[in-house]
Every structure is written in structure tokens, then in C-alpha cells.
């Protein structure tokens, strides 16, 4: 990633480390007195909308509409930030929900959950480096990295919806 300006690179690395670290720390905090149990379907919907907009962004750039592509990707980044805020807000104010499925479906759920969580951490620098390359006009580098970022990010948002749908019957 040598074609990314040093200030961008430092900020991206810093955010890529700090965000997962802070999220992990916040999961140890429980704030009582707030009922944010209504948030999971909202942030799952945000993931679903992000998936739709990522696909629309992909189609836009394939059709040569760079302006729409850029706007949609900025919206997707904003939606991902909103998702993270709502996700953290729910988890610091609510008790943990355990998955209650049994048999093979339980293994499928945990496979999807583990890959979702792992890739949601790994996608942060991919998105930020890809975005940085576009911002600095390095469209060849942007395109090369986007070939990895797009399917990774798309998997994360779609698997987030799937995880929600699978665990939603077990919410209290």
C-alpha cells in the first residue's frame, strides 16, 4: 500500500487498530436504565441497505458513472459508521442474546457469525485504503484494491443481516 499518502496511511492504520479495540472494550461496559432493544432490526436493515447500495455502486462504475459510484460509496461508509454506533449502543445497554438453534444449523450460525466478525475487522483497512486511493486520484490502485474490498465488504453486510435473522427469534 505504498501509493497511499503517509498521513492517510497512518490514520488508516490507527483507525484499523483502534476501532476493533474500542468495540471490544465497550462490550465489557453495561449501561443500565436504557432500553435499546429496538435497535437490532434497524442496524440489520442498515446492513441490508448498505449491501444494496454497494451493488448499485458496482453497477454504476461498470456503466462509467463515477460520480454516482463515489456518492454511493460515501453513503455506504456513512451507513457503516451509523451501523457501528447503533450496534455498540445496543450491546452496551442490553444483555447478551444466546443463539438457541440446535444441530447443524447451530454450526452454520456460528460459522457465519465468526466469519462475519473476523471479516468485519479486516474490512476496515480495505475500505479505508480503497477510499483513500480514490480520494487521491489513484484510480488504478483504487480499482486493483476494490476487487478485494467489494466482495469482502459485501459479505460482511450480507452476513450481518443473516446473523440477525438467525438470532432474532432468541431476543428477549
Using pLDDT thresholds of 50, 70 and 90, give the confidence band for residue 167: very high
Question: pTM for the full model?
Answer: 0.92
Between 8 and 154, the more confident residue is 154
Q: Residue 72: is its pLDDT beyond 90?
A: yes
What residue spans define the domains of the chain?
A: 6-170
Q: Residue 124: is its pLDDT beyond 80?
A: yes
Using pLDDT thresholds of 50, 70 and 90, give the confidence band for residue 57: very high
Rounded to whole angstroms, how far apart are CA atoms 77 and 81?
6
The predicted structure's pLDDT at residue 157:
98
The predicted structure's pLDDT at residue 1:
45
CATH number for the domain running over 6-170:
1.20.120
The predicted structure's pLDDT at residue 130:
96
Amino acid at each position: 500500500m505504498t501509493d497511499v499518502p503517509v498521513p492517510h496511511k497512518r490514520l488508516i492504520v490507527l483507525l484499523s487498530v483502534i476501532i476493533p479495540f474500542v468495540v471490544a472494550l465497550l462490550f465489557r461496559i453495561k449501561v443500565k436504565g436504557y432500553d435499546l432493544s429496538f435497535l437490532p432490526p434497524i442496524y440489520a436493515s442498515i446492513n441490508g441497505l448498505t449491501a444494496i447500495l454497494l451493488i448499485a455502486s458496482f453497477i454504476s462504475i461498470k456503466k462509467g458513472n463515477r460520480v454516482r459510484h463515489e456518492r454511493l460509496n460515501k453513503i455506504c461508509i456513512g451507513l457503516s459508521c451509523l451501523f457501528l454506533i447503533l450496534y455498540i449502543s445496543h450491546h452496551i445497554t442490553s444483555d447478551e442474546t444466546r443463539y438457541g438453534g440446535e444441530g447443524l444449523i447451530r454450526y452454520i450460525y456460528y460459522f457465519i457469525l465468526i466469519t462475519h466478525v473476523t471479516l468485519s475487522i479486516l474490512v476496515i483497512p480495505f475500505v479505508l485504503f480503497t477510499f483513500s486511493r480514490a480520494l487521491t486520484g489513484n484510480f488504478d490502485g483504487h480499482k486493483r484494491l476494490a476487487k478485494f474490498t467489494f466482495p469482502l465488504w459485501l459479505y460482511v453486510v450480507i452476513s450481518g443481516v443473516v446473523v440477525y435473522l438467525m438470532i432474532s427469534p432468541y431476543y428477549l
